[in-house]
Amino acid sequence: MDQEKVQQFVALYGDRYPEEAYNNVKNKFSQMNQDSATLCAMKSKNPTTVLLLSIFIGYLGIDRIYVGDVGWGVLKMLTCGGVGIWWLIDLFLITDVTKRKNLEMLVMF
């Protein structure tokens, strides 16, 4: 993919990946064809959406299941968000978890 399109992808979807991995994301997008890059970017989760899920129904573990941590999500669901403590901690951690999961998916793509 040419550099202009890579810049567009990074501008549109760069907030879905960790900031420290900016160069890796840019290189990975440049190695992909446009269809693969579009598919990968569309499959990535928006950290803001996950944060909203975490705020409103995070005590049920839905946020963790949504990002792909099914085991943690079920455990969180069974403990009602760790009696609220795990839910509160996840409010601060879930965006970083989402970005890391998106990066893992991009690397495997």
Up-side HSE of residue 103: CA atoms within 13 Å toward CB?
A: 19
Count of the separate structural domains present in the chain: 1
pLDDT band for position 2 (cuts 50, 70, 90):
confident
Neighbours of 54 (CB within 10 A): 27
The pLDDT tens digits for 20-44 are: 999 999 999 999 988 988 888 889 9
pTM of full prediction above 0.75: yes
- Helix residue ranges per DSSP H, 1-109: 3-13, 22-31, 34-43, 47-57, 62-67, 70-78, 80-83, 85-108
Domain range for residue 66? 3-108
